[in-house]
Structure 1
Amino acid sequence: MAQKFLEMPDKDGYFGEYGGQIVSPELKAVMDEIAAAYEEVSETKEFQDELQELYADFVGRPSPIFYAKRLSEKQGGARIFLKREDLNHTGAHKINHCLGQALLAKHMGKTKVLAETGAGQHGVALATACALVGIPCEIHMGEIDIKKEHPNVTKMKILGCNLIPVTRGGKTLKDAVDSAFEEYLKDPENFLYAIGSVVGPHPFPKMVRDFQSIVGREARAQFLARENKLPDVVTACVGGGSNAIGIFTEFLPDESVRLVGIEPAGKGLDTPDNAATLSLGKKGTLHGFKCYTLQDDKGELLPVYSIASGLDYPGVGPQHCYLKDIGRVEYEAITDKECLDAFLTLSRVEGIIPALESSHAVAYAMKIAKELGPDRTILVNLSGRGDKDADFIANYLGIN
């Protein structure tokens, strides 16, 4: 167990200098109530038994590790493995923390669960979890993302959630967060804001990390059982950072394992059209916590862009910021062009259509495989499947 890192954050919600509760005194009291309820409820046998049963029988865990033999042979060099979170019920890693937060809301007696969504995977997962436990669900989603991710929009409506289109600002993920949080502030006593990543004020970065760490626990044990050694490289895409922290956490004490988070370079790091927060950002505050943010010379948040709707966030989880500063995790960036190439290559070589978000990590694995020898291994967290992206990509590339 990665005990040293799981002991973080501190009692005030900080990972080093990042995180915390940069909110009003009234909202801090509500956050403290959620933190106390989480610590109390999550340690009970009843909660853990119910969650583990749902992971096994509802989600379909453990998700397998797949050796991408044809992709590895095509690239040459290292062998590439995929942690198949795309095979989870609802199609991504998001269901892991959504079930946990929905169960917490039920135990706290909340009357409505709110959330933002970018690519729609968090929205679908939360709507699914709320339907399962019988709590009303409201999802805020940017108008641009609604158009790009129509299949997920349809699923959310079928699942019975109240979908709120967000037409302000850039009409994408950051604006959806703002909108959902404003609704939450109308009645924080009775509502629960189920944040979709390892971001926001304490206790959310810790809580989502804890629920997502099942990915790394499974992956480490599975890889050891299969290969009789640990992978040389573990990589995952990073927007807010939930899937990456989920798989990284269990490997953090293993100094022989190189951990690499992959950000969206968009149209290039030398253009304004990217969302590479850890690569280009400065220290700032966003949505109630301290982290690296993309900002101008006056400290104002910059507009962000990625072809992947789940990655276009101008901040990043506070634990990722800490891990960058201490040098335990490296952060690289992949362009839209490289992402699209990986999306099509994995689809046509292995028969696996990945989410555009996950395709960033696949692209990085494809790039470095050639630099490594055949005795080296790369484990990619394939965080979601690309059903939601298929129509958008077909139109984007002119595939008839």
Structure 2
Amino acid sequence: MSTEPIAADNAIPGATRVLAPENGYYGNYGGTFIPEILVPAFAELSAQFEAIKQDASFWQDYTALLTDYSGRPTPLTHADRLTAHFGRARIYVKREDLNHTGAHKLNNALGQAMLAKRMGKTRLIAETGAGQHGVATATVAAKLGMSATIYMGREDMERQYANVFWMKRLGAEVVAVDYGSRTLKDAINETLRDWVSSFETTHYLLGTASGAHPFPAIVSFFQSIIGIEAKEQVLRTAGRLPDRVYACVGGGSNALGAFQAFHPHDEVQLVGVEAGGQGRDSGKHASRLVYGEASPGIAQGYKTMFLQDRDGQMKDTYSIAAGLDYVGVSPILADLAERGRVRFEAATDAEVVEALQLVMRTEGLIPALESTHAFAGLFKHIEETSASEIVIVNMSGRGDKDIFNVAEGLRDEEWNGFIERKHQQYNG
């Protein structure tokens, strides 16, 4: 693919319009359930978002900055040794790990920050689970001369402290959330509380394709660049569309980014992989759709499928991957699942750790634990494919941030010894 910025008319794909909401809804899901005080903020955001979708100069600036600053387009890598290992479908990997800050998150963070500056905002606030969105928000705030406050559940901070370190070094304030499950859903709640009292100067840079309308549309719109590139690359490299596209699913931003360009092509199967945690009957997972435990509900400003009890109280979730540890799912994906356009799978922690080792040792790639769910989902069904088929896996981020969790999952005694020595060194 050319390294020239994507032209503005190509950066607003027809697939994005296919997934456009009707009155803020995608089928039975979506909507805008917000406090009255936030109505002006949402009205302004909706109007400005509609304006930039028609503004060629905005998209030229956006895609040029992605090229010059973030390093897009990211490659579509043929995983030849992994393909040979299974002897089945040809496997290609969309390399969002090579995006600046190491994940797909910068695509959306940069777009929303530019939109916020257009609205005259000077401050960004954001929620984060795995920390990648927090790092991306802190990064674009520094790049564009804005201040940033990042809310993160205490549990996630402990799991992803390396990202906390970088957020602070980039100049962001990082606020720990110490109530509830102390994970992503609680960070979202706290960010919304901040926004209620600060929206005149502050933009809530939501990181996933969830929340009240127009956030699902905004996030999926900026992330659509993943699939735009992947579609062009696979057509150029393989001469045809893939048979399947796999992506992990927490809230849904990287999945929708990968899926949208292929959505109009019914012959391309779209597969989302949720966090199966410790298994279907363990009570410790974050599978909303595959394990059948979620039900429609309204929370955090929108209607979707949530893991909740009969009283509508949100259940605790669990995943080895902090970025998938979320109680809801994008209303866009809930609708696509209901209509049968996206098939969902779940991968357990054990399957993910096994898949991670295989990808590392055959391809020299280190996917994030979130992204490894997509690989694990493919590997579970690879025997169903043939050598004539083509599969794309969206590698949404790299695994540097996961070293502590991976070492724990692998029960690496050498790593444990290293940590103990460091502890003694600092406390001796």
Deviation at 1:48, TM superposition (A): 1.3
Match of residue 331, structure 1, among 336, 344, 350: 344
Q: Which of 69, 93, 118 is matched with 1:82 structurally?
A: 93
* 1:193 alignment counterpart: 204
Q: Deviations over 1:253-290 (max 9, x none)?
A: 11111101000111011221011112221111121001
- The equivalent residue for 1:376 is 389
- Separation (CA, whole Å) in 2 of partners of 1:2 and 1:127: 28
TM-score (norm 1): 0.97
Q: Does 1:146 align with 2:157?
A: yes
Equivalent-residue separation in structure 2 for 1:390 and 1:355 (angstroms): 9
CA distance in 2, matches of 1:249, 1:190: 32
Aligned to 1:303: 316
CA contact (8 A) 1:275 1:311 kept: yes
Give the equivalent residue in structure 1 for 2:4.
Answer: none
CA–CA separation in structure 2 for the residues paired with 1:30 and 1:97: 19
Q: Determine if contact 1:12/1:21 at 8 Å carries over to the other structure.
A: no
**C-alpha distance in 2 between matches for 1:44 and 1:6:** 15
The answer to whether the aligner puts 1:53 opposite 2:64 as a matched pair is: yes
CA distance in structure 2 between the partners assigned to 1:317 and 1:286 by the alignment = 12
Determine the C-alpha separation between the residues in 1 that align with 2:53 and 2:168.
30
Give the superposition deviation at 1:390. Answer: 1.3
Higher mean C-alpha displacement, 365-374 vs 285-294: 365-374
1:315 aligned to 2:328?
yes
Q: After the TM superposition, which residues 87-106 of structure 1 pair with which residues of structure 2 at under 5 Å, given as runs?
A: 87-106=98-117
- CA distance in 2 between partners of 1:29 and 1:9 (Å): 22
Shift of 1:391: 2.6
* Secondary structure of the structure 2 residue equivalent to 1:63: coil
Question: Does the alignment pair 1:249 with 2:248?
Answer: no
The residue type paired with residue 397 of structure 1 is L
Matched, 1:287 2:311: no
> What residue identity is the alignment partner of 2:364?
G
Distance, in Å, in 2 between the alignment partners of 1:287 and 1:395 is 33
From the superposition, tell whether residues 11 and 326 of structure 1 become closer, same or farther in structure 2 (CA, over 3 Å): closer
3-state SS of 2:316 partner: coil
Q: 1:18 to 1:70 in 2, by over 3 A?
A: same
Distance 2:91 2:268 in 1: 14
AA aligned opposite 1:53: A
Stretches of 4+ moved more than 4 A in 1? none
Query: Counterpart of 1:170?
Result: 181
CA 1:8–1:359: 2 relative to 1, 3 Å: closer
TM-score, length-normalised on structure 2? 0.91
Q: Partner of 2:240 in structure 1?
A: 229
Unaligned runs of 5+ in 1: none
Secondary structure (helix, strand or coil) at the match of 1:49 reads helix
- Of 384, 391, 394, which aligns to 2:404? 391
The code of the aligned residue for 1:377 comes to I
Q: Deviations over 1:158-192 (max 9, x none)?
A: 11100111111111111111111111111222211
What does the per-residue CA deviation read over 1:36-74, in whole Å, with 9 as the maximum and x for residues that have no partner? Answer: 012223432332121011111111111101111111222
Corresponding residue of 1:214: 225
Structure 2 equivalent of residue 21 of structure 1: 32
Give runs of aligned pairs for residues 264-275 of structure 1, distance below 5 A: 264-275=275-286
* Cα deviations by residue, 1:321-364 (Å, 9 ceiling, x for unpaired): 11011111111111111111111211122111100000000111
Q: Provide the rounded CA distance (Å) in 1 between the counterparts of 2:115 and 2:53.
A: 8
- Decide whether aligned partners of structure 1 residues 132 and 375 sit closer, same or farther in structure 2, where only a CA change above 3 A counts: same
Structure 2, unaligned runs of 5 or more: 1-11, 415-428
Equivalent-residue separation in structure 2 for 1:346 and 1:151 (angstroms) = 23
Q: Distance in 1 between matches of 2:364 and 2:132?
A: 21
Residue 5 of structure 1, CA deviation:
5.7
Shift of 1:217: 0.6
* Root-mean-square deviation (Å): 1.4
Paired residues, number: 400
Structure 1 residues 360-380: Cα deviation after superposition (integer angstroms, max 9, x where no partner): 001112222222111112100
Cα distance in 2, alignment partners of residues 133 and 42 from structure 1 = 21
Shift of residue 7 of structure 1?
A: 4.6
- Separation in 2, partners of 1:214, 1:287: 27
**Greater shift after overlay, 389-398 or 369-378?**
389-398
Q: Distance in 2 between matches of 1:72 and 1:365?
A: 12
Deviations 1:125-156 (A, max 9, x none): 11111111111011011111111112211111
1:145 and 1:34 map into 2 onto residues whose CA distance is: 29
